[in-house]
Amino acid sequence: MRSPEPPEAPTSGAYHHGDLPNALRASAVEVILSKGLHGFSLREVARRAGVSHAAPGYHFGDVRGLLTAVAIEGFETLRDELVRSGAGIDDPIERLKAIGGGYVRVAIEHPAHCEVMFRDDVLSADDPALAEAGLGAYSVLEATVAAIADRYNAELPVHDVARLCWSTMQGLVELQPKFVALDAMLTRTPTSLDEHVDRFTDLIITGLVQQRGQTRPRR
């Protein structure tokens, strides 16, 4: 017996045959950017993709399923950017700086993805694919911190340091507009996001390398 055909017949030729899931994710990103999560609906996603209103539900189940797919795509994008940013940089300290910049670039270039990536209240938080994607991105950072420990300070608590670095970059992305406003109130020259990344990373690294008094690389 043949399985029922998915409700994916387009109304406007908005996607290539066989690529509807990607088209729906792209439309979901558009809806998040234009309406925010408070205005998000599967019907609006379908309308923008030019497909039946039942198509998103067929492929992703419900709103949580589709937003989870967007979050997975975001974590995969983040992992790829962190890998790209650190590629070919031998010194793990310089690699960590580059990774910090990569994290911020993803936040700037993919704001809709980043809006949902850490929102367990709107995601299927127990989805194994979501956990795997998040771990993939985090592992790039942790491996870099482990390399710093191996070369500069064997006593570094790698897990804690990796979480500190992640928390710093995430907090910086969210607070940067407040920092700009604060500089304006204090009549200071505004510090750009890139400058903040460099300064904060330098502060963290200084602490990492000098912790317990060890300041020279281990050979």
Query: What local confidence, expressed as pLDDT, does residue 193 receive?
Result: 86
- 3-state secondary structure at position 54: coil
- Tell me the sheet residues that pair with 51: 10
Structural contact between residues 50 and 14, judged by C-beta atoms closer than 8 angstroms: yes
Structural contact between residues 96 and 151, judged by C-beta atoms closer than 8 angstroms: no
Phi, psi values for residue 123, rounded to 5°? -110, 165
Please write the tens of the pLDDT for every residue from 147-162: 999 998 888 899 999 9
Q: Secondary structure of the chain: what % helix, strand, coil (to 5)?
A: 70, 0, 30
Query: What local confidence, expressed as pLDDT, does residue 149 receive?
Result: 92
Q: Which residues contact 206 (CB under 8 A, 6 or more apart)?
A: none
- Tell me the sheet residues that pair with 10: 51
| Sign, Cα dihedral of 30, 35, 40, 45 | negative
Architecture of domain 69-213: Orthogonal Bundle (1.10)
The one-digit pLDDT tens for each residue of the chain (219 residues) are: 333 434 333 444 444 446 899 999 999 999 999 999 999 999 999 999 999 889 988 999 999 999 999 999 999 999 999 999 999 999 999 999 999 999 999 999 999 999 999 999 999 999 999 999 999 999 999 999 999 999 988 888 999 999 999 999 999 988 988 988 998 999 989 888 888 888 888 888 887 776 544 544 444
69-213 matches 1-61 in CATH topology? no
CA distances for 156 relative to 99, 132, 212, angstroms: 19, 26, 9
Query: What local confidence, expressed as pLDDT, does residue 211 receive?
Result: 58
CA distances for 105 relative to 59, 148, 180, 217, angstroms: 30, 23, 18, 30
**pTM beyond cutoff 0.95:** no
- Domain segments of the chain: what residues? 1-61, 69-213
Query: What local confidence, expressed as pLDDT, does residue 7 receive?
Result: 38
Six-digit token string for 172: 């910086």
Rounded-to-integer distance, Cα 219 and Cα 216, Å: 9
Q: Does the structural domain 1-61 have CATH classification 3.40.50.2000?
A: no
Structural contact between residues 102 and 162, judged by C-beta atoms closer than 8 angstroms: no
Query: What local confidence, expressed as pLDDT, does residue 201 receive?
Result: 86
Residue found by looking up tokens 């996603």 in the block: 45
